Amino acid sequence: MKIQTQTAAEGLFRRNIILVAGLITAPAAVCTDTMQRALMLCFSFDAITVLTILLSGLVPRKIPYALRILSYSLIAALVYIPTAVAGEFLFPKISLGIYLPLLTVSLLLTSQRDYHFVKSGWLRFVGMVFADILGFDLVILLMGAVRELLGFGTLMGETILPSGGVLPSMSGVSLGIILLGLFAAFAQAVLCGQGKEQSDSDVSAE
């Protein structure tokens, strides 16, 4: 249980691909102006990541590492096509535009799969992947909720604030970037706090 909790915490903060690694920031800032677009972004990222990792596991480990990475790239590109079609079916009125293909950057999760798989074992590796996905989804959904509520006064299209959004500019990209930066600063503060606590405990142990 302790290991599972630690893995989830690392996915939320220490390895968060948006707040810490700084990946996929463009889709995160642009496509989270409403909860519905945020949901489509989460669905697309989750599908591309999970399917790419599962299919990349079929690539023989005996072939050279560079060719394996190339294979992962081709798999991600192939997975993107049905994911885009499914996204249009599930969210017919929502479009992520050119930012949807950028989600194939989730390949960066698979480019290290050999290292993490060998180092951690299959079960822990799966836990790490789902923790990373959970960290991504929580950030995206939280941003979508905050921006839609403040920008439009609604959630999932339902009116919450009768007077409308209290900060209409929150639906713009510029404030989306600022909000993402605030989330990243919070994550860094948590990491620094954890590092300080760990250092203090090590000193006390000595």
Residue 54 located in a structural domain: yes
Domain that holds residue 17: 2-197
Give the model's pLDDT for residue 157.
83
Residue 72 located in a structural domain: yes
Total count of residues recorded for the chain: 206
Q: Residue 6: CA atoms inside 13 Å, Cβ hemisphere, count? A: 5
Residue 203 located in a structural domain: no
Q: Which residues contact 18 (CB under 8 A, 6 or more apart)?
A: 24, 25, 28, 135, 136, 139, 140, 180, 183, 184
Give the model's pLDDT for residue 86.
94
Residue pair 40/94 in contact by the 8 Å Cβ criterion: yes
Residue 202 located in a structural domain: no
Residue pair 140/37 in contact by the 8 Å Cβ criterion: no
How big, in percent rounded to 5, are the helix, strand and coil portions of the chain? 75, 0, 20
The per-residue pLDDT string of the chain (206 residues; one tens digit each, 9 = 90 and over) reads 444 445 445 556 566 777 766 667 888 888 999 999 999 999 999 998 888 888 877 878 788 877 877 888 888 888 999 999 999 999 998 988 888 888 876 555 555 555 455 555 666 777 777 888 888 899 999 999 999 999 888 988 888 888 877 888 888 888 888 988 888 888 778 777 665 555 545 445 55
Residue 177 located in a structural domain: yes
Buried b (16+ CB within 10 A) or exposed e, 68-102: beebbbebbeebbeebbeebeeebeebebeebbeb
- Distances in Å between the Cα of 125 and the Cα atoms of 49, 101, 118, 136, 185 are 14, 25, 9, 17, 27
Q: What is the total count of domains within the chain? A: 1
Residue 101 located in a structural domain: yes
Residue 86 located in a structural domain: yes
Residue 203 has a CB neighbour count (10 Å cut-off) of 8
What is the per-residue pLDDT across 134-181, written as a single tens digit (0 to 9) for each? 888 999 999 999 999 998 889 888 888 888 778 888 888 888 889 888
Question: CA 103 to CA 85: how far, in whole Å?
Answer: 14
Question: CA 46 to CA 36: how far, in whole Å?
Answer: 15
